[in-house]
Amino acid sequence: MGVREAVNNIAARWMDGDGPEHDIVISSRIRLARNLQGMAFPNQMSHQEADSVFHAVQLALSDRHFRQQFGDMELVRLGELSPVERRILMEKHLISPDLLKDHEKKAVVLSDDEVISIMLNEEDHLRMQCLLPGLQLQKAWEIANKLDDGLEAILDYAFSEQLGYLTACPTNVGTGLRASVMVHLPGLTMLNQINQVINAVSKLGLTVRGLYGEGTEAMGNLYQISNQVTLGLTEEEIINKLTSVIKQLIDQERLARKALHRDQKYRLEDRIFRAYGTLKNARLLTSDEAMKYISDVRLGVNLNIVDSLSNKILNELVVMTRPAYLVKQARRELSSQERDIMRAEIVRNKLSKQN
């Protein structure tokens, strides 16, 4: 496996649908921002300086001790990938939308199991990411911290005794750590409590974003919740605080689901089975419709209303119904209607194999 295999294979470890609290928590991510000493930040750097970052990281990855710890990792410049392949990596949450901009200066490193990815020259020289299924922030942090220590033993990071790790954006100075959890919150949404919950979470110093992070929409009742503050707190404090809030959110979502199933049993089951029936039979599916129906069916799976599907299948369908994956399968650009036809066909075929 590696970067090129990742754009051809749909599966990634975070999609497995297992892990603690997997009925509500889709995935946990730890991201560390690091920069190399004495070099301009990516938004100010030349192509030559960008090359220096590539070569420094490439040397670190080929270090014997590093490879003994982490195995072989493939580094690929984004310019070597097609626009569709780059977008697939983003749709699989292995790189950020920002890495797609000005891609000639950028690159990505992936571990074989796609748990670890390193983005080069995004907002910072290195953005190290660990992505696991379910609520596993502590485990993700342990993996990311070990990776960070391995690279720091070879690379010269920009660090201040007073401020900690130096980053392009002041909000990341200090630990440089961004912990985030992707949650599925249909119950709170259906009971019209989601805005109230988002406001409460925001007041606790956390931020709520859409499916692909900053500046994106919350599709299919999927939200990313992450820390805002990186300075003045230890990594453990950041992770413990986010974990505590997420556990409260899990309790609230479970109560909402229980109330819906108790008070609106037939309405809820009708909604879920209509969604399932549409996914199994539709000839046209827009992106928004797919996300909406997958969300409803996911709720049915986790309430044991639908018993023939798994969270893994639904996680894969989220990626398989995105535009870049469709274009990759068709091997050509598609019109809007062609995408809707192909999306419906892919979903029908995937679900027919589960029966």
Burial 136-172 (b: 16+ CB within 10 A, else e): bbebbbebbbebbebbeeebebbeeeeebbbbbeeeb
Q: Break the chain down into helix, strand, coil percent, rounded to 5.
A: 55, 15, 30
CATH 3.30.590.10 in the chain, residue ranges: 3-257
Which residues in the chain belong to E strands, given as ranges?
A: 25-34, 74-77, 107-110, 116-120, 126-133, 159-160, 164-165, 177-184, 206-209, 222-227
Q: What is the rounded CA–CA span in Å between residue 22 and residue 302?
A: 9
Listed residue (222, 224, 50, 65) closest to 125, CA to CA = 50
User: And the tokens for 55?
Assistant: 């070569």
- At residue 350's C-alpha, the angle toward residues 257 and 256, to 5°, is 5
Residue with tokens 């580094």: 75
Q: What is the rounded CA–CA span in Å between residue 230 and residue 194?
A: 26
CATH topology for the 3-257 domain: Creatine Kinase; Chain A, domain 2 (3.30.590)
3-state per-residue secondary structure call for 239-266: HHHHHHHHHHHHHHHHHHHHHHHHHCHH
User: And the tokens for 88?
Assistant: 């697939």
Report which DSSP code applies to 157: B
Q: What is the pTM of this model?
A: 0.93
With beta carbons less than 8 A apart as the criterion, state whether 105 and 121 touch.
yes
Q: At what angle do helices 235-263 and 265-281 cross, to 10 degrees?
A: 100
Instruction: Please tell me the predicted confidence (pLDDT) of residue 102.
Output: 85
pLDDT by position in tens, the chain (length 355):
578 788 888 888 999 999 999 999 999 999 999 999 999 999 999 999 999 999 999 999 999 999 999 988 999 999 999 999 999 999 999 999 999 988 899 999 999 889 999 999 999 999 999 999 999 999 999 999 999 999 999 999 999 988 899 999 888 889 999 999 999 999 999 999 999 999 999 998 899 987 655 555 678 999 999 998 777 889 999 999 999 999 999 999 999 999 999 999 999 999 999 999 999 999 999 999 999 999 999 999 999 999 989 999 999 999 999 999 999 999 999 999 999 999 999 999 999 987 6
Read out DSSP for 163-204?
Answer: TEE--SSGGGTBT-EEEEEEEE-HHHHHTT-HHHHHHHHHHT
Strand partners, 131: 29
Instruction: Please tell me the predicted confidence (pLDDT) of residue 295.
Output: 97
- Side-chain-side CA neighbours of 185 within 13 Å: the count stands at 31
